[in-house]
Amino acid sequence: MRGKGEMSEKRRAIWVFGDYRNYFQNRVTLQLLSRARDLAEKIAGEVCAVVFGHWTEEWVDDALSQNPTFCGVVDEYIAHGADRVYLTDHPRLAAYSIETYALLLERLARRERPEIILIGATAFGREFAPRVAKRLGTGLTADCVGLDINPEGLLVQTAPSFGGNLLAEIVTPERRPQMATVRPGIFQEIPHDNARKGEVVRVPLPEGIPGERVRLLGSERVSQRGRKLEDANVVVCGGRGMGSRKKFAKLFELAELLGGEVGATRPVVYADWAEHDALVGQAGKQIRPQILLSFGISGAIQHTAACNGARFVIAVNKNPNAIMMKRADVAIVADASQLCTALIQELKRRIR
């Protein structure tokens, strides 16, 4: 899809898809709006949110509205960085539907010709975005951990592969829009700002939308106990350098303060300082957190290969030459257990 001879009076637009269900657990839309603002500055562009759904009094009474600054999803997106919100509000859209939403976004994108479309890499987004990209005949980079604009004005999409052991910088040189999905927790949202103003564009539901060939029969909220470690944004990993079972247990307190999960190395699991489901390694789980704190771990390949998806690594070890220390962003030479205690104390002081 390419604009032909169009007058470029219209500012280039960066769209962010409004993935609003599961709002409290997942603020990815707000995070992407924030990043979109940074990118928009570099291309003299504007930021738009796109929302499909059906708002009723029921929604207002939902958990979503317990947020004291809540003022409706649309106003929320404006307060968090959108210059404009395209909204299609219709009873037919009360539940997410891949087929219908893909059709709506395709039509809207063909009409408005955005430069970039960003979609959160939630389970929904990861299934939705490829369909939209296919319909628009454009490229899509999945699960980006970085987005930037290069000197040529192209969106540079940084994406991992091989469990994060490799990062690739990717561009979509010619097709438009440039599309990317981004994991929650990569970018930080801009604080809610009631003074921000934006435009709401109501887009009517098009006529003649085909019936859904996939129907949702039931939906129940559950917490995903199974994948907590693999999906955690922050992981606190401990090895034998923690010293004892009792000292290792402090890592759980640290993890809780950071809203993260605890992982362990094989020797620790064998010594019964941690459960087997905490094992981070070839025989256990692969992690890809934003922040990994690694306490008293030397860095055997079976473990490190499962951690290479971590964006920022803080390693603590008495031995400055341990492999984990050499491959960390920050290598702290100290007793792991003592450092853990000191960090817990300081975090308790600062976290309000």
**Residue 90 Cα to chain centre, angstroms:** 28
Considering only the stretches 59-67, 77-85, 236-244, 330-338, report the one whose residues sit in contact with other proteins under the rule CB under 8 A.
330-338
Nearer to other proteins, 126 or 192 (CB): 126
Q: How far apart are CA 103 and CA 209, in angstroms?
A: 8
Considering only the stretches 57-65, 108-116, 200-208, 218-226, report the one whose residues sit in contact with other proteins under the rule CB under 8 A.
218-226
Residue closest to 325 by CA, chosen among 346, 340, 304 = 304
The residues with which 295 forms a beta bridge, in sequence order, are 238, 316
Nearer to other proteins, 60 or 301 (CB): 301
Choose which of 161, 194, 244, 319 interacts with other proteins (CB under 8 A). Answer: 161
Does 141 sit near other proteins (CB under 8 A)? yes
Considering only the stretches 5-13, 20-28, 37-45, 239-247, report the one whose residues sit in contact with other proteins under the rule CB under 8 A.
20-28
Site for other proteins in 189-208 (CB under 8 A): none
- Which sign, positive or negative, has the C-alpha torsion 23, 202, 141, 192? negative
Choose which of 133, 182, 254, 268 interacts with other proteins (CB under 8 A). Answer: 133
Count of residues touching other proteins (by CB under 8 A) = 99
Choose which of 36, 156, 237, 274 interacts with other proteins (CB under 8 A). Answer: 156
Q: How far apart are CA 178 and CA 253, in angstroms?
A: 42
Choose which of 2, 134, 202, 246 interacts with other proteins (CB under 8 A). Answer: 134
Q: How far apart are CA 193 and CA 79, in angstroms?
A: 5
Choose which of 165, 190, 196, 249 interacts with other proteins (CB under 8 A). Answer: 165
120's CB contacts (< 8 A; 6+ apart) are 17, 19, 26, 28, 29, 31, 32, 181, 182, 183, 184
Q: How many CB atoms lie within 10 A of CB 224?
A: 10
Nearer to other proteins, 84 or 145 (CB): 145
DSSP class of residue 190 equals P
Q: Per-residue string for binding with other proteins, 35-74, x by CB under 8 A?
A: ----------------------------------------
Nearer to other proteins, 4 or 349 (CB): 349
Instruction: Say if residues 37 and 47 touch (Cβ distance below 8 Å).
Output: yes
Nearest-approach distance from CB 191 to other proteins, in angstroms: 10
Choose which of 45, 53, 81, 139 interacts with other proteins (CB under 8 A). Answer: 139
Nearer to other proteins, 84 or 288 (CB): 288
Considering only the stretches 5-13, 38-46, 159-167, 242-250, report the one whose residues sit in contact with other proteins under the rule CB under 8 A.
159-167
Nearest-approach distance from CB 201 to other proteins, in angstroms: 27
Nearer to other proteins, 177 or 198 (CB): 177
Place of tokens 């219209």: 10
Instruction: Say if residues 170 and 188 touch (Cβ distance below 8 Å).
Output: no
- Which sign, positive or negative, has the C-alpha torsion 136, 141, 143, 144? negative
Nearest-approach distance from CB 328 to other proteins, in angstroms: 6
Instruction: Say if residues 131 and 109 touch (Cβ distance below 8 Å).
Output: no
Q: How far apart are CA 160 and CA 165, in angstroms?
A: 7
Q: How far apart are CA 17 and CA 114, in angstroms?
A: 12
Does 122 sit near other proteins (CB under 8 A)? yes
Does 220 sit near other proteins (CB under 8 A)? yes
Residue 153 phi, psi (nearest 5): 85, 10
Does 330 sit near other proteins (CB under 8 A)? yes
Tokens of 91: 């009873």
